[in-house]
Structure 1
Amino acid sequence: MKKSIIYIVFAGLFMASCKTAPVADFNKVKQIIQSNTWILQDEGGNAKGFNGQDVTMKFTQDNGMQAVGFAGCNNYFSSVDLQPANIKFSQAGSTMMACPDMENEQAFLELLTQVNGYEVSGTELRLFQNKILLLRFKTK
């Protein structure tokens, strides 16, 4: 059941489409992105966690910008290249715990590598591949 819900969330996000616009005040947006912990959302705006915990993302400045967080079973980290009009995540590394439903975690981490755009709107961070919404987060 939980697996089905996760697939529905990802399918709904893949099908949603939105145009990203270049950021007018990049320093302000960068500060918003870095000062919050972000929680993965579904298309209805409800936080969806794997294994009873929220999937999270936080941006740090350790040796360049990095995204770190909880992916469902393991903690992850990825280098991030954040520019005014785009964002790129490197292939994520993670701890090595084994859990049921590892497919969900692997799908989430794979989606990160496909991201090339973003939008910050209010308390939401939306990550896109071209104009297709892949992931949506809300501030904690």
Structure 2
Amino acid sequence: MRLPLLLLTLLATACNTRPAQETTSTPPPSARTAPDAQLRETHWVLRQLAGQPVTVPADTREAYLTLRADGTAEGNGSCNRFRGSYFSEKPGELTFTPLMSTRMSCPAIATENAFTGALAQARAYRISGDTLRILDATNTAVARLEAVYLH
């Protein structure tokens, strides 16, 4: 009589036991956030102007901007290369001198003119991850660019 009682007790205990990892709660994995891209020496590709997506017509280049450590701003508006200077003396501040460029025409000339116009309006910037927003005097985003890393 003792043997069946002992067997029943062992079986009941074995059925109620859970492995240690199931009984302890593990915290959720922490969200990994990438560091913000650097304003200078980053290849910034234009993605939006005044909140509207930028499309690249066939046989034209993506518009981009690169701000060099020496204060030089250079890029391509889709049709023409441009160059000038920029100032960013305080965190979040960004202004450009008038940009010089070549004057060729192409199907994306309207986008190019809007891009260089947005740069002329720049007074500030915000970087979040790989996104650069160029802001005007009213803190409205006039352009959104994305960091593209060249290998």
Structure 1 and Structure 2 fold alike (TM over 0.5)? yes
User: What is the CA distance between 1:101 and its match in structure 2?
Assistant: 4.7
1:98 equivalent to 2:110? Answer: no
Match of 1:32 in 2: 38
1:82 equivalent to 2:88? Answer: yes
Distance of 1:85 and 1:139 partners within structure 2: 17
1:55 equivalent to 2:63? Answer: yes
Identity value in percent: 23
Larger Rg over CA atoms: 2
More helix by share: 1
Structure 2 counterpart of 1:93, one-letter code: M
More strand by share: 1
- TM-score with structure 1 length normalisation? 0.67
Structure 2 counterpart of 1:70, one-letter code: N
Match of 1:71 in 2: 77
Q: Aligned with 1:32: secondary structure?
A: coil
Structure 2 counterpart of 1:33, one-letter code: L
Give the direction of change, closer, same or farther, for the CA distance of 1:116–1:52 in structure 2 (3 Å limit).
same
4+ aligned runs moved over 6 Å, structure 1? none
- Report Cα offsets for 1:32-91 as digits up to 9, x if no partner: 1113100011358x7643553211111113xx4121111010001121001213110111
Distance of 2:67 and 2:55 partners within structure 1: 20
Q: CA RMSD in A?
A: 2.4
User: What is the CA distance between 1:136 and its match in structure 2?
Assistant: 0.5
Mark the runs of 5 or more structure 1 residues left unpaired by the alignment. Answer: 1-27
Pick aligned residue for 1:108 from 92, 115, 121: 115
Q: Which has the higher contact order (CA 8 A, sep 6+)?
A: 1
